[in-house]
Every structure is written in structure tokens, then in C-alpha cells.
Structure 1
Amino acid sequence: MEMSQSVWNNPAACLSSVDPENPILFFAPKVLQATARRFIDGFPGMVTYAVKANPMDAVIENLSAAGVCGFDVASPVEMRLIKALVPGAVLHYNNPVRSLAEIAVAVSLGVASYSVDSMSELAKLIAAVPPEGVEIAVRFKLSVTGAAYDFGEKFGANAQAAVVLLRHVADAGFMPALSFHPGTQCHAAQAWGSYIRTAAQIADAAGVVIVRVNVGGGFPSHRTVGSAPDLAMIFATIDQVATEAFGDARPVLVCEPGRGLCADAFCVATRVKAVRDGVHVFLNDGVYGTLTEMPQIGVIDRVEVIAASGLVRKGAPLPRVVFGPTCDSLDRLPGQVMLPDDLAEGDFVIFHGMGAYSTVTNTRFNGFGALSVETVLHLTA
């Protein structure tokens, strides 16, 4: 993925000048830094970044410049990336299943916090990680709603198992903590509230004073037309419930947003390859490229269409079936996308809020997927 050294005022200025054959990802650093400061100023605890969402060097560097000093890493590759770009950063290794070789790398790089959701994985950590000054957070799960999808089928112990795990963490001499994830793109503030109350109950049942609660990621980005997600309400709920649930023993809070931090600092410009018989729209990007998440959590409807001349299309919205460029029939956006009735081949369809899980899942299937990155001052005209 090639990142240009140019800086454009907005995507339209670039698109009308360069006539690109492949999709372009537009990055607005000042939007990313503003979002980071919103989290740092609003969240009642430590803000870390889930590197998996977008590990671009420019993303890491701008988050660090904005004041983010902790990073949630899921692999040795991500650990080494952060150590190279932000040498003094704190590393939290919250992928709950790790090989012994991966644990050894984490120890060598000074990982400060691990998460765990099973006795077998805890045994690995106890055997391989010196406990002094190191935190182990027991990750638990609940049946809550409000997210696009949750992670409970893959990660998290039930509350009863979490009690036993937490006791073992404390007995082994590690700093005991609890961790959860309410599910991706979670708009329901009460989901965090339910988890925090249960965290207090788990700590009480275990007879362990925990040092920290990691409230996970899940903070939503702006995917649909209308008002942006109410992060302030989510922050306030977390703050209020933590005090109510723990009282004077309230632990330090930490969050690990990925999507919530980086998504809205990017948009992707795809190009119309064809409008087949005036009905089906084929783009030069699809679910095997930057649009891979859409079949799982829905189409981003913050879309604008720009003609090759740079003018914004303003035709009446018309529901369209939209396909990607590959020969696979699964390469289709779910449902229908509202696009102007004067849409034409060669137009650019711009999807906003595309900074998370867009570059890292690009497969290059069928030879498509080439992507360049351009920097812009503004994401809209």
C-alpha cells in the first residue's frame, strides 16, 4: 500500500486531478488526533489503541502525537511495530490465546498487561512470565445486546469461571484485573454498565481487590447518516457505574478502542466500473478489498458520489445492487445502496468512516485490491 507525500484539501480535489484506476484511501490526520483527544479528555481512565484496527505507521504516529501512550497488541508483529514507532509506549497483550513462543517475545519486549480466559492459558503465563509489576486481566463474557456482533463465542470466561481464574492470578503474584469487550460497534451504554457491575461481583466473590478494569473496545464509529454516536453518554455511564459498583475500591479503568479511534479519520473512493443494464453497479472495490466488513455489520450509508469532473452528483437517490470487481458472486454489498439516479460509469463512490478493518483485510483476490493512500486536510468539500 503506497502512501503519497502530497496533501490535498479534500478527496474531490485529488480525484479530479489524478484520474485513478484503483481505489484511494483518504486520511485526515487532524480528524484522527481530534478523536484521540476526545477519548483522552472524555474517558475516565487510560486510553489505549487496538492496533489491529489499522496498523498504518501514520495512524500510530498521529495517535502518539495526540497523547495516546498505550497500545493493545495482538501479536509479536504488532509489538515490534509499536516498539519501533513509539519506543516508550505501554504494551497490553490482550489476545487471550498465545503460543509459548509468542509469550517469550512479549516478555522480551516488556509487555505490561496480559488477558486470559482459561486455566490452560493462565498456566502458560504463570510458567513463562515473571510476575513482578505485571498485570493479568481475567476476561469474562455476558449475554448483552447493543453491538453489531459480540466476541463471546470465541473469547471470555463465564462469571463463575472468572472468579476461579482471578483467585489464581492473585495467588501467583500478578496484579489482578478484569477485562471484557461489549461487542463491536456497540451503541448501548448499558452494555458497559452491565459488564462493570458484574466485574464488581466477580471481584467480590473471588475475595480479590483488583487494580484495574479494562472495559474493552466496541466504541462505535459514525456509520450511518445522521448524528454521530454519543460517546459522551457512554463515557458518563462507565464513570457512574464504576463508582456505584466499586465504591471506595474503584479500580483504574482502561479502554482499548480501535474502530472508535481510527474509523472516522478515513474515507475510501471507489470507482464505478459499469452500470449493467442501468440496474447493477460494479465498483473497483468490494468485500475482498476495503469493504470486507460490510456483509458482517452492514453497509456504511455515509456515501457521496463525485463525477470524474469533480462535481457532486445530486440526482434523486435510487436503491442499487452493488457488486465488487471480482468474479466471485459473494462479492456484493448487502441489501441495496442508495445512489443518485444520474450515476454513471467513471464516477467515484466515496464511503466515509473507512479507517478500521479496511486495509488489514485486503486480500488482493483476482488481482484486484491495489490501494493508495492520500492525505487530506478535510474529508468532505
Structure 2
Amino acid sequence: MVMAPSVLSVDDTYTTNTYHPHWKDPVVTNHTTDHGVISLSVPRGHKAPKELVLDQLRNRVGTVDMARCDPGDEDAFYVADMGEIYRQHMRWKMNLSRVKPFYAVKCNPDPEILRLMAKLGNGFDCASKAEIDLALQTGIDPSRIIYAQPCKTRSYLRYAAQKGVKQMTFDNADELYKIKADFPEAELYLRILTDDSSSLCRLSMKFGASLDIARVLLDLAAQLGLKVVGVSFHVGSGAEDPATFIKAVKDARWVFDQATEAGHGLHTLDVGGGFSDDTFEKFAAILGKAVDDYFPANIRIIAEPGRYYVAQAFTLAAHVIARRDVRDPQDPARDAYMIYLNDGVYGNFSNIIFDHQHPVAQILTCAGSGSDSSSSSVPSSPVAGTDYSIWGPTCDGIDVISERITLPGLVDVGDWLYFENMGAYTRCSATRFNGFPDSHDVIYISSEAGASALLEY
């Protein structure tokens, strides 16, 4: 972990009094959260969040001497803007004020992110012993964790009991027998099946009880003396059809009524995840109305957002380690290049395989353009508009980041590229295949510039 110099730390996200010479006439604004009032010093004449991120990227690569650096000094690294996560939280509170977030740890288990989530008053959605430990290390009460794994390892189940993590999901009869044996005091959520056919990452193929067997499971839980306190569903990661939320909420209402008949006293609805940044307001409006229409105010509503919070907060910089000159197959008269980075799909670009993402390369430094610049500075002909394919460092042919991309510079060995929106399902699923590292430095900043956007809400 690397904390950037002269940039606000995570703690400064909450009370910011740091002085920077390019700020003028700061405006102080207060925002109420579950933990009280957060004071933010919003500077006038500040830099935009992306400018701050690019500054840190350039500062870091500027310290690397390619001819003399030690092994690993030129490894890929991140800049994480914790201010972006805070802005997403305020956006959530403005649009889904009734729904309490339980951050999906699996999406990005970075300890600094978890610490921020804890300070914002959020809960945690955990799926294993390790994730439970990470959440508890933030100092939260175990009641702020839901063990949202319908098919649990028995030793993990006993561990949850030891730690007092009572809330957990189930979707089958065998799970109820396990819980009866290992943690009969647990507070259970019946996870129901949803239609996630339009989602980026489908989950219904693996989890969820159909409505046909919901009543059977509720009766069995009652016979075993187990306490069912809620219903949960998940419309899939990266959902694209907001109507799936409406159908899922209606189904959950039916299960609530069935649970009452079976003798259970339900008090919580877990609406899962599936929230994307670009459709959030639309989805939030539809989900919020559905929840209000079908569930009275005394029913607690929680959710399990992951990528919504962190996807845009992380920017990855990677080093060009090799280049090959090839003919453009679509235009033999045109030069094209294969460039190789020191990170790929077995590393932080695992989101290409596991999360169906398409990271877009941008130039951070490029000697061929005559200066260190971002892709917004297009050099003059003849190097403008050069075509590339971008590959990772392993010996596997599937390790490709971009099959074809046009960049505004003649990228060569020693240059750096950067990729935005790399905070979700990247570091957490990286491997050490071929001996390449599965973790990289993170420079944490807090862009107060973006805090001014809060004033617009």
C-alpha cells in the first residue's frame, strides 16, 4: 500500500482541513450519514478528480528509471480515489435512502475500502471466513455482516457462530439441516430465484429457491425450530433490465406472506446487487417505488452493492515491456503493432474473463508523441492514429487485453498506459500464473474536487 504525499488520506475524507496553494476560498458543507455529520471543505479553483489521478500516475512513473530500476519497480500499480467512493455513497443516499448498503466484499476487498465503508455506516456482504475476518477487522459489530452464501462450508458456519455473525442466507433443505446442527441461533434469509437473463453475470443458474419450493423450505425451517427473518434475491451483476427488480420484489412479497403463515416473523428484505453506475438513477427509482408499494415502512430494506461503489474509483497504470511491428490485416499498407504490458488477464485484467469487461487503454507517457501526455493530447501525423493489439505478459495466447485499438501516439517499450474503471473484480481475482505478481501497489487519494459535486444533489 502506498499513500500519496500531499494528497488527502482516507481519514481526511471525513473532515478535510488540509491546505493546498491552488485552492481558493474553500466552502464548507455538511452531510448527514448514519455516523453523524461529515464536514467537507470544498475548494474553489480546484483540480478535477481525473486531473488529480493523472498527476499521481505521472508522479509515480516519473520515479522509475527503466535502465537501473530493481525487479518489480516498474510493475503495474493503481491510483484509488476514495473521494469517488464517497460520492457514490452520497448518490446512493439521495436515490435509495430507505435501502441500507451492505458492501459486497468479494468485489474489491481492499482494506482501505472496507475501512471507508465501515466509517460510512455500511454493512458487509461476506461469502467466506476470510471475508468475515476482513469485515470484522474494521471494528464493526457482527450485526453489520450478512453471510450471503447460500451453500456454506460447515467449519465456516461454526466460525460465524463463534464470531456472532447471525444473518445468513439459504436456498435448500440440506443447508437448513447444516444450520440446525452448527448454528441453530442463526437469523435466516430465504434466497429466492430471479430472472437474471439480461444481466452481465448471471447467478440464478447457481443460487436461489424457486417459488414452488419456498413454502416447503419455510415449513421445514419452522419444524427444525430455525428462525427465518427475511427474504433475499439477486438479479445478477450488471443488471440491464430494471423490470427484473419489480418482479423480484413482488415474488419476495409473496414469500413474506407464506412465511407468516408458516409461523415466521420476517422483518428484512435483501434486494441484492446488480447496480451499475450508468443506469443507477433509473434502477433506483423503479426499485424504490416497488419496495414502497409492496413493503410497509417497518420492514427493513438492505442491498449488496459492489461494483457500483468501487468500479470507477480505481485507475490502473501498466508498463509497455515489448513491441512487435506487424502488418495490419485489414490494410496491408498500414503499419500496426503488438504491444505487451506487464499485466494481463491472469492479473488485474482478470475482469475481461470473469466480469465481461472491456478495459480501454489510454496513453499516460509516450516518447513517440514528443511529450508525456494523456490520450487527450493527440500528436501530429504521421504517428497519430496508430493501431495496436495489446497483450499481457504471460506465455498464454488468451492473454489479450485489446485485439484492436487505435492510440494517438507511437507507443514503444518503456511507455505507460492507463486504464480507468478498474476497481471491480480485478485485483480480487488476479493469479500468479507464470510467476507474475498477483498484487500491486495502490496510491490512495481523496479528490475533494469531486466533493463539490455533492452540492449539486
* TM-score of the superposed pair, with normalisation by structure 1: 0.87
| In structure 2, C-alpha distance between the alignment counterparts of 1:334 and 1:163, rounded to whole Å | 49
- Counterpart of 1:375 (choices 444, 448, 455) is 444
Give 5+ residue unaligned stretches, structure 1.
222-228
Q: 5 Å matches for 1:1-381?
A: 2-4=1-3, 6=5, 9-10=52-53, 11-19=56-64, 21-43=74-96, 44-68=98-122, 70-88=123-141, 90-131=144-185, 134-171=186-223, 172-206=225-259, 207=261, 210-221=266-277, 229-246=278-295, 248=296, 251-277=299-325, 278-307=336-365, 310-313=372-375, 314-315=377-378, 320-333=388-401, 335-369=403-437, 371-378=440-447
The 1:327/1:343 distance shift into structure 2, 3 A limit, reads same
Q: Following TM superposition, by how much is the alpha carbon of 1:286 offset from its aligned partner in structure 2, in angstroms?
A: 0.5
Task: Tell me the percent identity.
Answer: 26
Q: Which digits, 9 at most, give the CA deviation of each residue in 1:62-86, with x for residues without a partner?
A: 1222232x11111112212222222
Q: Following TM superposition, by how much is the alpha carbon of 1:291 offset from its aligned partner in structure 2, in angstroms?
A: 0.5
| In structure 2, C-alpha distance between the alignment counterparts of 1:183 and 1:219, rounded to whole Å | 9
Q: Following TM superposition, by how much is the alpha carbon of 1:263 offset from its aligned partner in structure 2, in angstroms?
A: 1.7
Q: Following TM superposition, by how much is the alpha carbon of 1:292 offset from its aligned partner in structure 2, in angstroms?
A: 0.3
Q: Following TM superposition, by how much is the alpha carbon of 1:4 offset from its aligned partner in structure 2, in angstroms?
A: 4.2
Q: Pairwise CA RMSD of aligned residues?
A: 2.6
Q: Following TM superposition, by how much is the alpha carbon of 1:347 offset from its aligned partner in structure 2, in angstroms?
A: 2.4
Q: Following TM superposition, by how much is the alpha carbon of 1:115 offset from its aligned partner in structure 2, in angstroms?
A: 0.2
| In structure 2, C-alpha distance between the alignment counterparts of 1:72 and 1:145, rounded to whole Å | 23
Q: Following TM superposition, by how much is the alpha carbon of 1:243 offset from its aligned partner in structure 2, in angstroms?
A: 2.8
Name the aligned partner's letter for residue 239 of structure 1. Answer: G
Q: Following TM superposition, by how much is the alpha carbon of 1:310 offset from its aligned partner in structure 2, in angstroms?
A: 3.2
| In structure 1, C-alpha distance between the alignment counterparts of 2:150 and 2:169, rounded to whole Å | 5
Name the aligned partner's letter for residue 82 of structure 1. Answer: A
| In structure 1, C-alpha distance between the alignment counterparts of 2:106 and 2:273, rounded to whole Å | 12
The 1:335/1:193 distance shift into structure 2, 3 A limit, reads farther
Higher gyration radius (CA): 2
8 A contact 2:57–2:79 mirrored in 1? no
Q: Following TM superposition, by how much is the alpha carbon of 1:335 offset from its aligned partner in structure 2, in angstroms?
A: 4.6
8 A contact 1:23–1:285 mirrored in 2? yes
| In structure 1, C-alpha distance between the alignment counterparts of 2:165 and 2:148, rounded to whole Å | 10
Q: Following TM superposition, by how much is the alpha carbon of 1:25 offset from its aligned partner in structure 2, in angstroms?
A: 1.1
Q: The residue matched to 2:349 in structure 1 has which SS? A: coil
8 A contact 1:175–1:211 mirrored in 2? no
Name the aligned partner's letter for residue 18 of structure 1. Answer: T
Q: The residue matched to 1:219 in structure 2 has which SS? A: coil
* TM-score of the superposed pair, with normalisation by structure 2: 0.74
Q: Which digits, 9 at most, give the CA deviation of each residue in 1:279-326, with x for residues without a partner?
A: 222111100000001134434355421115531244455653221000
Larger mean Cα displacement after TM superposition, 3-12 or 114-123: 3-12
The 1:379/1:27 distance shift into structure 2, 3 A limit, reads farther
Q: Which digits, 9 at most, give the CA deviation of each residue in 1:138-186, with x for residues without a partner?
A: 1122233331121122211222122322333355241431111111112
Q: Following TM superposition, by how much is the alpha carbon of 1:230 offset from its aligned partner in structure 2, in angstroms?
A: 2.6
Q: The residue matched to 2:398 in structure 1 has which SS? A: coil
| In structure 1, C-alpha distance between the alignment counterparts of 2:283 and 2:387, rounded to whole Å | 33
Name the aligned partner's letter for residue 218 of structure 1. Answer: G
8 A contact 1:54–1:356 mirrored in 2? yes
8 A contact 2:196–2:239 mirrored in 1? no
Q: Following TM superposition, by how much is the alpha carbon of 1:87 offset from its aligned partner in structure 2, in angstroms?
A: 3.3
| In structure 2, C-alpha distance between the alignment counterparts of 1:363 and 1:190, rounded to whole Å | 37
Q: Following TM superposition, by how much is the alpha carbon of 1:259 offset from its aligned partner in structure 2, in angstroms?
A: 1.5
| In structure 2, C-alpha distance between the alignment counterparts of 1:170 and 1:304, rounded to whole Å | 57
8 A contact 1:213–1:253 mirrored in 2? yes
Q: Following TM superposition, by how much is the alpha carbon of 1:14 offset from its aligned partner in structure 2, in angstroms?
A: 2.2
Q: The residue matched to 2:196 in structure 1 has which SS? A: coil
| In structure 2, C-alpha distance between the alignment counterparts of 1:180 and 1:334, rounded to whole Å | 35
| In structure 1, C-alpha distance between the alignment counterparts of 2:297 and 2:217, rounded to whole Å | 20
